[in-house]
A and B are shown apart, each in its own frame.
Chain A
Amino acid sequence: MSQEQKKTTTQKFAGRKGAEILHEMLLEEQVEMMFGFIGGMVLPFFDVLYTSPIRFIMSRHEQGAAHMADGYARSTGKVGVCIATSGPGATNLVTGLANAYMDSIPLVAFTGQVKSFLIGNDAFQEADMTGITRPITKHNFLVKRVEDLGRVVREAFHIARTGRPGPVLVDVPVDVTTSAPANEPDLDLRLPGYKPRTAGHVRQIKMAAEAINAAQRPILYVGGGVVAAGASDELRAVAEKGKLPVTTTLLGLGTFDETNPLALKMLGMHGTAYANYAVQESDCLVAVGARFDDRVTGDISKFAPHAKIVHIDIDPASISKNVKVDIPVVGDAKNILAQMVEFIEPRDRSAWLAKIGEWKKKHPLTYQTNGKIRPQEVIETLGAMTEHEAIVATGVGQHQMWAAQFYGWKRPRQIITSGGLGTMGFGCPAAIGAAFGNPGRTVIDIDGDGSFTMTMVEVITAAQHKLPVKFVVLDNGYLGMVRQWQELFYGRRYSAVDHPCPDFAKVAEGFGAKGMRIAERSELSDGLREMLQADGPVVCAVEIEPEENVFPMVPAGRALHDMELGKLA
């Protein structure tokens, strides 16, 4: 994240139109691809784009464009770029921006705006986009003078990709794109208040290492910050040298290979029993790029009650926000872990690891295999068939948790999922964005019927580009996660969760993709193989056991070790 951007522009901008300046600046930022939807107030820019080397992908709805840019960013590590026109086009980006903000994903969104002299007059297709997006972006800009445009674009990319990454919105009135600066504009960044700290304080790093060395039952709790920092190798070095078990958040999945004996998989509300028990018993919890979200901690007053807490994070505001931290280390996880490994001493942790081994044996992730197809076996089969190497996007709900539990994660940037905001409908467009960013790689959207229905219109986009995304829709005809809560906490009063679905295979065919439906266990392996081998996009609906539940589950408000383990455990 800390790499200084290259200032390659030798362009002369005096006398050139704003739309051209914007385009030149995108090239300077090495933008290869943009997602979006055209409209009146962005016409001058799209006229420049007509002959541009930048590839433009039209979504069918602006929310899809924002999620595509997000999926592209999560899977490639580059900044995702999207564009929409003023008013409704811009407001349709809002969910996508909020989603990226909660998960710290670098996006730059450009929105057209009405002519600058009409702003505030309730003009046609006018919306106050900087006002609307202020709380859901890392920063935003309204460019009122063409002289500022080049600098603002540069600032937007710089802010999006450095420090704790996040989405930045740049709102550009149409007349700014059609006018030209008389003199050469100044392009130097003007951000005196923005100085993200990347190097960790050595004294703090030493203290953290000493706390780990002194601990009997240490555990690493790792989140999306390790993905953003690209710190997986450093993480593994620390964990292996200190024999430290590692549990990850939903967004941290893949940062630590789950086949490693030290891996405890995901923790939290639907985490593994052994990860949750280990956290609760630990005497030193080291959080790396994670923020003690309520879905991770359960009842926060009973979270890791015996542990000294070390928190490594690039955002000082994350530290001691939810839990009181004993040893804070502010900075980039890659730098800090690389330094920390020097101070970590190999210790005999065999008693602690043996105890965790017992929990693993006693409470493995498991499921039943009778009756209708179980969602977990679909995901395990997909994991095996793709050798756990695919990029997997998800929607939000039960299927998302099953995917997190059962796919088998190997490497960072492999799971593309909406963590903080929990945005249903994220999976389909995010998978498309990831596929555009990773040609040649298998990309699967493991989705639920509820989530998929919300944004499945983007299958048209995949079909248009013959993009080989595989959409696996686990169809239980319910809004399953809510149904599960109603079953467990509302006495099975199923209110507004019955979710009749269209024939997804036919819809897919109508959209220009291949459509499949699997209803019997005997068809599952062959069906999934056929799907994976097909060219182009496939929508494969799988009829699953309608009332399957996600376990383990820590009911909201309970302590992390106080889990419902399900029928089998």
Chain B
Amino acid sequence: MRHVITALVQNEPGVLAQVAGMFAARGFNIDSLVVGRTEDPALSRMTIVVVGDDKVLEQVRKQLGKLIPVVKVRDFEVVDYVERDLMLIRIHTPPEKRPEVVELVNLFRGRVVDVARTSMLVELSGTEDKVEAFIDLVRPYGIRELARTGVIAMSRGQQRNGAAEKEDA
């Protein structure tokens, strides 16, 4: 099962190493891990995509919560949420192929951010599924280079109940 878990952490040196080290030491698999600043300069948000069964995911939440600099843990499995993954992708596009690729980019609501003689650089964001669907579609043209941010996530408004907070047993 794939879960998106976010952790609000104190913005101090070593926190990333502590979280990553805990995952490695306990044998949890991370699909992606994103760290970024929040509206509060003292706090950062980590968004972690983890795959595992219920028991593993319960341990992931609890072990994260146990780390001293982790202020709050949420598992988005139990709430309605929005997730986004941002991708930059350079696609092989000889001039005759450009219109087809641009059409695909438009269908996916991406943006062409740079055009060279035989390639185009495209920016695309969305759920992991959407991003991967786009990658599959443009693969036949030839992917020169690809970078993704990994998933960030946030619950929709008015969600009070159901989120697994740090305090939960």
Partner-B contacts on A (CB < 8 A): 130-131, 134-135, 138-139, 142, 159, 190-195, 197, 315-317, 319-321, 328, 330
Contacts and interface: CB of A to CB of B under 8 A. Distances in A.
B11 to A, nearest CB: 11
A276 B9 CA distance: 43
Contacts of A138: 68
Given A135-B22, A191-B68, A193-B68, 12 more contacts: A130-B14, A131-B14, A134-B18, A192-B10, A193-B10, A193-B70, A197-B167, A316-B168, A317-B65, A320-B55, A320-B58, A328-B169
A159 B1 CA distance: 34
Contact of A134 (B14, B63, B166): B14
A142 B13 contact: yes
A326 to B, nearest CB: 13
Nearest to B71: A193
Nearest to B13: A142
A193 B67 contact: yes
B66 interface: yes
A194 B68 contact: yes
Nearest to A321: B59
What are the 4 closest A-B residue pairs judged by CB atoms, nearest first?
A: A317-B62, A193-B71, A139-B68, A330-B169
Nearest to A130: B14
B68 A316 contact: no
6 contacts: A134-B14, A193-B9, A193-B68, A193-B69, A193-B72, A316-B66
Contacts of A130: 14
B2 to A, nearest CB: 21
A501 to B, nearest CB: 37
Nearest to A320: B58
B45 to A, nearest CB: 13
B13 A317 contact: no
B94 interface: no
B147 interface: no
Interface string B49-88: 0000001001100110111111110000000000000000
A194 B10 CA distance: 11
Interface in B8-55: 9-10, 13-14, 17-18, 21-22, 25, 55
Contact of B68 (A159, A320, A328, A330): A159
Interface residues of B, number: 26
Contacts of A330: 169
Contact of B66 (A135, A191, A317): A317
A134 B17 contact: yes
A167 to B, nearest CB: 13
Given A131-B17, A193-B9, A197-B167, A315 B66 contact: yes
Contacts of B71: 192-193
B21 A134 contact: yes
Nearest to B68: A139
A139 B15 CA distance: 11
B18 A316 contact: no
A197 B165 CA distance: 13
A319 B70 contact: no
B59 A316 contact: no
Interface string B130-169: 0000000000000000000000000000000000001111
Nearest to B8: A193
A246 to B, nearest CB: 25
Given A134-B14, A193-B10, A193-B166, A317 B67 contact: no
A320 B63 CA distance: 12
Nearest to B64: A317
A505 to B, nearest CB: 44
Interface in B85-136: none
B53 to A, nearest CB: 12
Most B CB atoms within 10 A — which of A135, A138, A330? A135
Contacts of B68: 138-139, 159, 191, 193-194
A194 B166 CA distance: 10
A432 B119 CA distance: 73
Contact of B65 (A192, A316, A320): A316
A375 B161 CA distance: 60
Most B CB atoms within 10 A — which of A134, A193, A317? A193
A489 B55 CA distance: 33
A86 B21 CA distance: 23
Contacts of B55: 320
Contact of A316 (B9, B22, B62): B62
Nearest to B22: A135
Contact of B59 (A131, A159, A194, A317): A317
B166 A317 contact: no
Most B CB atoms within 10 A — which of A138, A317, A321? A317
A135 B13 CA distance: 16
Contacts of B69: 193
Nearest to A155: B68
A194 B9 CA distance: 11
A130 B69 CA distance: 14
Contacts of B22: 135
Contacts of A134: 14, 17-18, 21
Contacts of B58: 320
Given A159-B68, A193-B69, A317 B17 contact: no
Contacts of B66: 315-317
A194 B58 CA distance: 19
A302 B13 CA distance: 44
Given A134-B17, A142-B13, A315-B66, A195 B167 contact: yes
